[in-house]
Structure 1
């Protein structure tokens, strides 16, 4: 009976985590460049149930043997193993702002180990000067003339240095080169390439970081198989599907509610066992 408690409780916990993930996705539906998380549910290892019984042999001394009878496997519950972002391209929206940039995917090689395409990002520097990666191209220019995120993180060029805007009349080409008054400034925005985006760790405000010894992603410019387009005065919207997310939230709630009723039923059975069976003499 206690095993049923644990199985139903595990179901409640997994659906609670899934509901929290979906709620966060919905809250960021209007955040530029946000990548929705998707959860994967895993089952705990099954247990093989057997029963022990005693058999008496029909001989003079009536020997007794302990026999084992297999009943079958039993499920021990599920859990949400991890929440991984989906790097599918979001819709492109025109803003008219000079400093807004949208990164549009072109050809991205498929990783043979994961059978999934890689992903490309803008590279920025956090307050410690460490590289971070984002698809949020809602940039601005700070008081010193540097192109930054709304949080003040510097957007980098292909040399890893902060990009500086020298005037108000600048244009960005499809390959990320900057022109001021029609002249090439010699700067090109850095586009980083993640061969396996699953290795990236999601931080707040649409930022990702790379764990491990190598903290920096390679440049997409070094891979001739990669194609992309930088579009000025546009931003990439989040890839959250609002209708699908709301449907999944309702499903998660109903599943949580069903597991809750199972726990309540087991609780009543335990209460009856404690209060009534103990009275039998």
Structure 2
């Protein structure tokens, strides 16, 4: 019976974590470049239940032979192994702002590949993003909405001197008669990227990011005056939130049933004996 407590409790905890993940997705449904998280649920290892006994042989000494029969597997609950971002392309929305740019995937050479803009904070740390919600700071540098510098293909911050600029479909920023290619970072496995906030990613220690412009078979386009929306399907997410709530409620009822059974065993049966 105690196993039932743990199994039901693990189910409740799992659905609570799923609910937290889905709630965060809904909260960032309007965040440009946001990639929804998906919770991966796994079961704990099953236990094989066996029936142990013994049989008596028809001999004068009543010889006893032990035996065991497999009853079947016993599940021990579930848990959320990890949450992984979904790098599916979001739809484009027009903003009319010349500082907004949207990155559209064309052809990626790897099934799990990901192409992103590259930014850098004041500490020199490099981050990656699909959000092209850029602006120009007081010093004339192109930055994202957090004030982090947008990097050029040479790894340096892009200086616009406050002038109006144009961005070509190839991702080349033209300002003051100068052409500055935006740095497009590419990873062959998007699972090497870890979220660092709503719309930023950082690279795992063992991950690898290369310059996307030098990758064979990679095609992309950049559209000025547009932003990539989040890839959150609000309707589907609401359905999954209701499902997680119902499953939490079901496990709660199972836990309550075990509690009532234990109450009868301890306070009633135990008292009579």
- In the alignment, structure 1 residue 247 sits paired with structure 2 residue 239: yes
**Aligned to 2:254, what secondary structure does the other structure show?**
helix
| The one of 242, 258, 265 aligned to 2:250 | 258
TM-score (norm 2): 0.96
Runs of 4 or more, structure 1, over 6 Å off, are none
Q: Is the 8 A contact 1:167 1:180 kept in 2?
A: no
Supply the distance in 1 between the matched residues of 2:216 and 2:70 (Cα, whole angstroms). 60
Using the TM superposition, give the Cα deviation of residue 205 of structure 1 relative to its aligned residue in structure 2, in angstroms: 3.0
Partner residue of 2:139? 144
The CA RMSD measured in Å over matched residues stands at 1.3
Partner residue of 1:113? none
- In the alignment, structure 1 residue 172 sits paired with structure 2 residue 167: yes
Partner residue of 1:190? 183
Supply the distance in 1 between the matched residues of 2:216 and 2:175 (Cα, whole angstroms). 27
Supply the distance in 2 between the matched residues of 1:57 and 1:177 (Cα, whole angstroms). 89
Using the TM superposition, give the Cα deviation of residue 97 of structure 1 relative to its aligned residue in structure 2, in angstroms: 1.0
Partner residue of 1:12? 12
Supply the distance in 2 between the matched residues of 1:144 and 1:213 (Cα, whole angstroms). 35
TM-score (norm 1): 0.94
Alignment of 1:1-281 (within 5 A): 1-110=1-110, 116-180=111-175, 183=177, 185-213=178-206, 217-281=209-273
Supply the distance in 2 between the matched residues of 1:218 and 1:10 (Cα, whole angstroms). 41
Supply the distance in 1 between the matched residues of 2:118 and 2:91 (Cα, whole angstroms). 20
Supply the distance in 2 between the matched residues of 1:50 and 1:253 (Cα, whole angstroms). 35
Using the TM superposition, give the Cα deviation of residue 117 of structure 1 relative to its aligned residue in structure 2, in angstroms: 3.6
Supply the distance in 2 between the matched residues of 1:200 and 1:106 (Cα, whole angstroms). 20
- Unmatched tracts of structure 1, length 5 or more: 111-115
- Unmatched tracts of structure 2, length 5 or more: none
**Aligned to 1:157, what secondary structure does the other structure show?**
coil
Supply the distance in 1 between the matched residues of 2:193 and 2:165 (Cα, whole angstroms). 32
Deviations 1:78-134, CA, capped at 9 Å, x for gaps: 111111111111111111111111101101113xxxxx2411000001232111000
Supply the distance in 2 between the matched residues of 1:67 and 1:117 (Cα, whole angstroms). 51
